Amino acid sequence: MTMFQCKIVTPADSVLDEEAKYVTFQAFDGQRGVMRGASPFLAKLGGGQCRIDTASGTKRYVLNGGFAQMNADTLVLLADGAEDVESIKLDEATKRVSEADAKVTAQNDKPLTLVQREKIESEQSLARARVAAVRRA
């Protein structure tokens, strides 16, 4: 199977730079899969799981927003945050889901702005993605 270069970069670190057979990630508008020879694109990342199939096995990350760019035979996932699924503890991830759910259902003195609501919903979605990723691993 032919390979292509896959990179995951955050503001703080270069997380991954390897050849991949297949990569799937959560884009803003749904799940996207990439193989060698994919047409060039630029996409907004959503918060969610990312799976990279390499010659040595599968690597899984939870990405927190950013952008994905496919150009020639290189996919760059420029993420606001990236967490290796193997480093996520299920009990901590489950606790974050409970905290995020509480924020969604909390009573507030003033109605939330759209930006505040989107931030809370993004936290909730990312927390659920972390739990799902750990359970799937």
The answer to whether residues 8 and 53 belong to one domain is yes
Written as six digits, the tokens of 105 are: 């259902």
pLDDT in tens, 57-88: 999 999 999 999 999 899 999 999 999 999 99
Query: If phi over 0 gives left and psi between -120 and 50 gives alpha, with beta otherwise, what is residue 58?
Result: beta
Q: Could you say which of 65, 85, 105 is where a domain stops? A: 85
Number of compact structural domains in the chain: 2
pTM, two decimal places: 0.87
The answer to whether residues 55 and 98 belong to one domain is no
Give CA angle at 94 (92, 99), nearest 5°.
95
Task: Of 10-14, 98-102, 110-114, give the range with the top mean pLDDT.
Answer: 10-14
The answer to whether residues 57 and 72 belong to one domain is yes
The answer to whether residues 76 and 20 belong to one domain is yes
Whichever domain contains 52, its CATH number is 2.60.15.10
3-class secondary structure, 81: coil
Range of the domain at 101: 88-136
Q: Could you say which of 85, 102, 117 is where a domain stops? A: 85
The answer to whether residues 79 and 130 belong to one domain is no
pLDDT at res. 69: 97
